[in-house]
Structure 1
Amino acid sequence: MIGSSSISGFWDSGAPRIPVSWLFEIPGVGEAAAGPSLRSRWSGWRGCDRGPGRPASGVASAPVSVPLAHTDGGIRLCLGRGAAAFSGGLRTAVAVTLYGVFTIHFSPNVPSRCLLLELLDVSVSELLLYSSHQGCSMWMIQHCARDVLEALAFLHHEGYVHADLKPRNILWSAENECFKLIDFGLSFKEGNQDVKYIQTDGYRAPEAELQNCLAQAGLQSDTECTSAVDLWSLGIILLEMFSGMKLKHTVRSQEWKANSSAIIDHIFASKAVVNAAIPAYHLRDLIKSMLHDDPSRRIPAEMALCSPFFSIPFAPHIEDLVMLPTPVLRLLNVLDDDYLENEEEYEDVVEDVKEECQKYGPVVSLLVPKENPGRGQVFVEYANAGDSKAAQKLLTGRMFDGKFVVATFYPLSAYKRGYLYQTLL
């Protein structure tokens, strides 16, 4: 039996983090337990410097143009609705939400129109940096691809072209648990392209590259760019996420122009960037369908959502659950078998953990499964992602009973369904 006094002092500060490897998805359900208050058991906890929680993302109106007073005469912003009318439908709002527009007078004669947008989290550009040239997990690539394709399917159905897709313009929404599009400054209505120079170097479609070159020479292009330019950009982004490499110079090379398909095959065949056990050929085929030089041959966004790639049940890596915040926090290496098999100690420790977690914000629910999957793991659902982020920051790297505690986030949708991931440390 474990004495009550044995828990005091188990939590230490300043402990280094440990690398944790793969996750596998296994359905399971556990029961939360409650017990007496044991606040005195905790020691050595750092203060919580927690700001207000992030506002929940609202649903923006149909695509609109919002003019801004700027030196170039105006910047346009296009937003998408959460519930779409097209046949594919959308799971959630997948474009940044506009809360309002206001004017600031920095000087008497130069008023500035400002947009109040929802606060989002990490960008795909940052995720690529964190991947350390190893590439992102298939779960993350699949998640990003689906979210962006849903956004594009809606925008294209409404007749709009984003025209500047790149890793920096795809951000994670912790509250909606999805990737969202931002920066619609180059967007235009298809068939009425009023922007001469579109897309960013490295993610620019061949037809947009030609159009930009002609515009620089003072010549008019015979044709306008279409929504197909967005699919080209997304194809490059997904290829970069898979390979972990920036492809700006690759896509501008003569080798790429001569046979891009062979280069894509080489990237996927490389043992340095793919595990042989992972079925990656569906992703390869999806990317190839987006990167045809002829825009008329590129797969539309709505059709791309039907790719077999999205039917594969990938599970996130531990790194994914650290980098992508959600309202649910998961604590690993907290409870061992001794605590789980002693009902009195189990209830005491669970209540103690709950009281400590409540210091960072209101706890909606707490789950500590006694059986696998998830045995001994602590799942804490907060009212918003801002609170869970504060808790994750302050609990990560601590020690409990001589063991490193790993604090990660956890998909709220999976938690609500009772799906738990079995973690291999």
Structure 2
Amino acid sequence: MAAGPPVVAAAGRLWQVEAPLGRGSSAAVFRARCLGQPRSSPAAVKEFLPPGSGPGGGGGDYGFRKERAALEELRGHRNIVTLYGVFTNCSSTKGPSHSLLLELLDVSVSELLVHSSQHGCSMWMTQHCARDVLEALAFLHHKGYVHADLKPRNILWSAEQECFKLIDFGLSFKEGNQDVKYIQTDGYRAPEAELQNYLSQAGLQGGTQCTSAVDLWSLGIVLVEMFSGMKLKHIVQSWEWKANNAAIIDHIFVSKSVENSAIPAYHLRDLLKSMLHEEQEKRATAAEALCSPFFSIPFAPHIEDLVMLPTPVLRLLNILGDASLQNDKEFEDIVDDIREECSKYGQIVSLFAPKENPGKGQVFVEYANAGDSKAAQRALTGKRFDGKFVVATFYPLSAYKRGYVYQTVL
């Protein structure tokens, strides 16, 4: 942390502030763990700069109050980051700084896009992200809020709840009461926000007022990037896009090979077009977008999805051969060895090794939390076990609890 004690009190507990996770113009984010409760989930501390220390001397007081108010009002939705508490660090030489204690989330969509830049994200992951973020937007728009900075870095995966969540409400505002001049990020900025930002920079009034429709535009761009594997920043700034973005979307979908039937891809294409109308009045709302037939199609995850998105369940591949499956004594001995090895990384809630398809030869290990599962995945991947190299992926807890085994797409 910039200054002050490494231990802080918040949400009725003491927290040890640890490694930095990131830094912006008005705030820095740190990892924190709860003292006295080693098995509890870690948290994130977002520390806002004291007054006078930010660019132009403004500091982060206003941003702190603004984000705190939004997160307190939006608290409780599974697709919005959880605010645990707030505290003030009074020991800084630059003056008191305010902090938010937040749920610590995992991989961002920005990181997922880096890993899928050659081929795009799977339809399973794209659908999962689209549904989760639309659920969040439908909720916050119903509450009168506009997020106003939706982009890949602000959509993060929750390993414990197996869903994507929205973070960073520093530019958010109540619809009809916009209190910031410049909203959204280059490449994800809606046309009306682009115009408004330009007029504000020129010191002029006028233009169309920004509404919740700006969030649908941003999400539409994010989803096109996930599907295509391409960054669209320069494309959306071109005159061709402004003249006819529907034709460009059509071209992206035609040029990208789709492994399964083209029908699901066309449903996604139509959904994205409904979110990317140049005229905000014609854009689908979040609630309308959730009714798309795209969300009625069941997809299976790719193996890359199950490596990238942590959950409390670990799936071990290439560990049980046909011989061990047919010999009960050998099977039980190997399963006991697996249990003993996996217990080194955390508390095991359950272990399942099916002898028949689906899932024949795989081993599923459910940990008490995703942190232990991640530690085990790092340690076991590539390790030799009974003469075989282990492949360790995560597995959706919801599917595991239902006894459902995906026929994973490789």
TM-score (norm 1): 0.81
**How far is 1:345 from its partner?**
1.1
**How far is 1:105 from its partner?**
2.9
1:286-341 Cα offsets, whole Å, 9 max, x none, are: 00000001101000001111110001100100000000000000000100111111
CA contact (8 A) 1:161 1:226 kept: yes
CA contact (8 A) 1:214 1:220 kept: yes
CA contact (8 A) 2:188 2:218 kept: yes
CA contact (8 A) 1:331 1:408 kept: yes
CA contact (8 A) 1:67 1:74 kept: no
Is residue 81 of structure 1 aligned with residue 75 of structure 2? yes
> In structure 2, how many angstroms separate the alpha carbons of the residues matched to 1:164 and 1:308?
27
1:119-153 Cα offsets, whole Å, 9 max, x none, are: 11000000000113210000000000000000000
CA contact (8 A) 1:53 1:385 kept: no
**Which secondary structure state, in structure 2, belongs to the residue aligned with residue 339 of structure 1?**
helix
**Which secondary structure state, in structure 2, belongs to the residue aligned with residue 197 of structure 1?**
coil
> In structure 1, how many angstroms separate the alpha carbons of the residues matched to 2:324 and 2:269?
47
1:234-280 Cα offsets, whole Å, 9 max, x none, are: 00000000010000010010111111100000000014x53363530
Q: CA RMSD in A?
A: 1.9
Q: Where do residues 70-149 of structure 1 align in structure 2 (5 Å cutoff)?
A: 70=51, 71-72=58-59, 73-75=61-63, 76-77=66-67, 78-79=70-71, 80-82=74-76, 93-108=78-93, 110-149=95-134
Residue in 2 that maps onto 1:419: 404
Which protein has the bigger helix share?
2
Percent identity for Structure 1 against Structure 2:
75
> In structure 2, how many angstroms separate the alpha carbons of the residues matched to 1:74 and 1:373?
54
Residue in 2 that maps onto 1:274: 258
CA contact (8 A) 2:300 2:408 kept: no
Which protein has the bigger strand share?
2
> In structure 1, how many angstroms separate the alpha carbons of the residues matched to 2:176 and 2:306?
42
**How far is 1:53 from its partner?**
5.0
One-letter code aligned to 1:55:
S
CA contact (8 A) 1:53 1:386 kept: no
1:210-229 Cα offsets, whole Å, 9 max, x none, are: 00000000012254210000
Residue in 2 that maps onto 1:209: 194
> In structure 2, how many angstroms separate the alpha carbons of the residues matched to 1:357 and 1:262?
52
Residue in 1 that maps onto 2:338: 353
TM-score (norm 2): 0.83
Residue in 2 that maps onto 1:55: 41
Residue in 1 that maps onto 2:245: 260
> In structure 2, how many angstroms separate the alpha carbons of the residues matched to 1:206 and 1:405?
50
Tell which has more relative contact order, 1 or 2 (C-alpha 8 A, sep 6+): 1
Residue in 1 that maps onto 2:316: 331
1:302 aligned residue (287, 293, 313): 287
Unmatched runs of 5 consecutive residues or more in structure 2: 1-36, 52-57
The more displaced of 70-79 and 348-357 is: 70-79
CA contact (8 A) 1:328 1:410 kept: yes
Residue in 1 that maps onto 2:23: none
**How far is 1:155 from its partner?**
0.1
Is residue 192 of structure 1 aligned with residue 177 of structure 2? yes
Q: How many residues align?
A: 357
CA contact (8 A) 2:134 2:286 kept: yes
Residue in 1 that maps onto 2:367: 382
**How far is 1:183 from its partner?**
0.5
